[in-house]
Amino acid sequence: MRIGMVLTSTFPPDPRVEKEALSLTENGHEVFVLCLKFKKEQSDETYLGINIIRKYMPRIVHKKLFALVITVPFYRWFWRKQIKEFIDNHKIDVLHVHDLPLCGEGIRIAKQKGLPLVGDMHENYPELIQVQRFSNTFTGKLLISKKKWYRKEKQWLNKIDNIVCVEKEMMERMSAFAPNARFYPVPNTPNIDNIFSQQTDNPEIRNKTFGKFNLFYFGKTDNARGIDTMIESIKYIKDKIPEIHMIVVGSGIALDDYIKQTKEMGYDKYISFEGWRPESQLRDYMAHVDVSIIPHIKSVQTDNSSPNKLFIAMAFEKPVIVSNCNSIARIVNDSQSGLVYESGNAKALASCVVEMYQHPDTRKRFSENAKMAIQKTYDWNITVRPLIRLYSELADTLM
């Protein structure tokens, strides 16, 4: 089949979209990705066997209109034209829309063209809008209707027959208002073979000196990630583990705030902010790591998602400490690969760190369990099977 994926961003990079497209290609389908470009990139390109079609939009226009897709029509009109041409020019058999903002147009166009539609929900989008910084500014509050996003999610998903989502918790939430849809949970797990094969040697990282007991966070540094809780927990850890150190790899809108918070609390010697680093450098960081932390703030969004960083840490055989977001806590408890603490509670996080430090045998057992869970349950080649099954079912109906 000729599968037409649509996403409101640039591509690559988008690890989830890339993994899905590659898996579908490997299973005999032809995948076309319609996406944006913000600068002078190739309009059409074949990347790892994936056919990419890029359409130009000024970055500032995308940034301003993206969250306003249900209030300002121009963004919808742009995509309506592009998707129709995309389907016609590439003889698309199935339209596969990534995330909620374009589901309305996807429903409209798939019906007009007589195509099956797949909605791929990476996020709990209304909740994401709810917590974004711009949505909570004076201008954002005037322009963005948060309640309307919740209404649109229910309205649109109730009209989509096939929904891919990231966790069974998200499936359970959405099935309440999309009872007739077929759901296919596909977690954000890594392709372990690919992750390890892409690692590069970085003596500069390997030769760094951190502490004797090192905690690790990697990923975005925005306000929903709980990094401020990690920083605050130092207050309760430093006297019990004098050689404690936190390594933070990543960038985001709140990074400067976290660096400032660290300095104001006098914790510079305990925390290193390494900035953004490619995934290919993780192995040399992991050589320093004793425990990996996923401190996400508990919310409707984080209760229904599973961050890629959790599975990557487990793949590198690192015990984890995670906040009590539903899906994350379930995975860690089921696999017995780490400890769970109450989200936002720095003292509880510190207690978990101290417990890990004082019980090296427990850390070793968690590490072994993490590796086993990845190999048996959470490798991409295993978790992608529902997506492969979906397209096998669609192929049967189109024959």
Question: Using an 8 Å Cβ cutoff, are 212 and 288 in contact?
Answer: no
Residue type, position 163, single letter: I
Shared domain for 70 and 198, answered yes or no, is no
Shared domain for 206 and 351, answered yes or no, is yes
H-helix segments, 51-178? 59-65, 73-90, 103-113, 125-131, 138-143, 146-157, 168-175
Shared domain for 180 and 197, answered yes or no, is no
Residue stretches of the chain with pLDDT short of 70 = 64-71, 129-146, 399
SS3 label, residue 317: coil
Shared domain for 152 and 179, answered yes or no, is yes
Residue ranges making up the domain that contains 97 = 2-186+384-398
CATH of the domain at 101: 3.40.50.2000
Shared domain for 129 and 234, answered yes or no, is no
pTM equals 0.85
Position 42 scores a pLDDT of 77
Residues 6+ apart with CB under 8 A from 354: 237, 240, 241
The helix (H) or strand (E) run that includes residue 391 is helix 385-398
Position 282 scores a pLDDT of 95
Shared domain for 171 and 197, answered yes or no, is no
Shared domain for 216 and 253, answered yes or no, is yes
Shared domain for 41 and 140, answered yes or no, is yes
Shared domain for 266 and 216, answered yes or no, is yes
- Environment class of 110 (CB within 10 Å of its CB; exposed 0-12, middle 13-18, buried 19+): buried
Shared domain for 103 and 29, answered yes or no, is yes
**Domains of the chain: total:** 2
Shared domain for 201 and 301, answered yes or no, is yes
Shared domain for 270 and 207, answered yes or no, is yes
